[in-house]
Chains A and B, each alone.
Chain A
Amino acid sequence: GESVGLHLPTLSVQEGDNSIINCAYSNSASDYFIWYKQESGKGPQFIIDIRSNMDKRQGQRVTVLLNKTVKHLSLQIAATQPGDSAVYFCAEIRDNYGQNFVFGPGTRLSVLP
C-alpha cells in the first residue's frame, strides 16, 4: 500500500554540525508535507511544511527539500543543538482530507556534546 517511511531510524550528530533527516513517500498524489518534532512525553510539534509545487522551503535553522521525481523529502537542521534531540516524523497529506494524513515511523536524532 501507499506509505510514508524513513531511511534511517536513528541519527547521531555532533553539536554544531548540520543534520539531515530523510523520508521517502510513495503516494505521488500527496500535495502537502509536514515535518514534526516529538520530544519525550510530548505530542508532535510542527516544524515546517512544504507544498508539492515547491522544491525547497526554509525556516529558522531548518530547510525542507522535496524531490518529487524520486518521492523523497528531507529535513536539514543547521548548527544542531542539544535541544534538537527528539524523534522527527514526516507526514504527507493528500487532498486536505483528514484521513489522508499519514505519518512515517520516525527518526531519532541524538545530539552529542
Chain B
Amino acid sequence: DTGVSQDPRHKITKRGQNVTFRCDPISEHNRLYWYRQTLGQGPEFLTYFQNEAQLEKSRLLSDRFSAERPKGSFSTLEIQRTEQGDSAMYLCASSLVSGSVDEQFFGPGTRLTVL
C-alpha cells in the first residue's frame, strides 16, 4: 500500500454514461498525476496538477475527459459519454517534488469497463 487510494476500484458502465473517479494522494504531496493504462502497455500520461493548478491537460484523450483538484488535495477524473474504447485502467499517482526529484507513488487504479 503506497498511501495513494482510488475509488472505485472497478466500474462497469454502459456506453454513453458519464463516470467519475476519485484519487486521494499522500497528504503532503503537491503533485498529482492521472494516467491511463491498457492491457500490456505502460501507463500513458493524461494530466497533472501541482497543488490546485492543472499544469498540463493537452494530453487528455478528448474533450470528454476532464480532471479537477479543487482544494489541492483529492482529485477527480470525469469521462463523459463513455465509449467502449475508454475501457482501461485509470491510475493516479502523487509526488512531493523536491529539487529535481519527482518520485511518483501510484494508487491501485480504477478499472473501467464500458459495455
Contacts and interface: CB of A to CB of B under 8 A. Distances in A.
Do these two chains interact?
yes
Interface of A: 4, 9, 32, 34, 36, 41-46, 49, 89, 91, 93, 96-99, 101-106
Contact of A98 (B41, B56, B107): B56
B interface majority secondary structure: loop
Interface in B76-109: 91, 93, 97, 100, 102-109
Given A96-B97, A97-B56, A103 B42 contact: yes
A32 B55 contact: no
Contacts, number: 64
B43 A103 contact: yes
Given A43-B4, A45-B2, A104-B42, A32 B100 contact: yes
A7 B56 CA distance: 30
A4 B42 CA distance: 10
